[in-house]
Amino acid sequence: MVLDAHSRAFDFFGGVPARLIYDNLKTVVDAVYVGKERQFNRRFLTLANHYLFEPVACTPASGWEKGQVENQVGNVREWLFTPLARFASFADLNGWLATRCTELAQRSHPTQSLRTIAACLPTNSRYCAHHRAL
């Protein structure tokens, strides 16, 4: 599910960031060592190598590393799931989410208030070029 969500997100955004930051979730990190050292999940590393992004794990108990992201996750949950929506199928849910994400991309960016979220997305992505070549 997490791996599929990455693929769907990369398709939606039309690109892949060079670096993605994770909060040590079990589907991504198998073992936490000292500092930033991690043993990443083998299947997850296959995904990272396929899409050519660098996974970075947060240091445990270091909330300052991910505060802005967690705040935005809370905002998106509120925007998408209040009130709680119900769907007859996953296809219906995915279609609704795609529409809502497109609408949300027209909101102001949280740190660049003069630009929309969509305006901050990449327009010339190595992901797009990579997959055209496959």
Domain boundaries, the chain: 2-133
> Which tokens hold the place of 110?
């949280």
Compute the distance between CA of residue 128 and CA of residue 73 in angstroms, rounded to an integer.
26
Distance of CA 61 to the CA centre of its chain: 21
Q: For residue range 104-119, what is the model confidence (pLDDT) as tens digits?
A: 888 888 778 899 888 8
For residue 125, pLDDT over 70 is answered with no
Can you give the pLDDT at residue 133?
A: 44
Can you give the pLDDT at residue 113?
A: 86
When pLDDT is averaged across residues 65-92 and rounded to a whole number, the result is: 79
Question: Residues 6 or more apart from 30 whose CB is under 8 A from it?
Answer: 38, 39, 40, 41, 42
For residue 4, pLDDT over 80 is answered with yes
**Phi-psi region for residue 96, left (φ > 0), alpha (ψ -120 to 50) or beta?**
alpha
Q: Contact at 8 Å (CB) between 71 and 78?
A: no
The DSSP letter of residue 62 is -
For residue 80, pLDDT over 90 is answered with no
Mean pLDDT of the chain: 80
- Is 4.10.860 the CATH number for 2-133? no
Q: For residue range 39-75, what is the model confidence (pLDDT) as tens digits?
A: 999 999 999 999 999 998 887 766 666 665 667 777 7
Can you give the pLDDT at residue 104?
A: 85
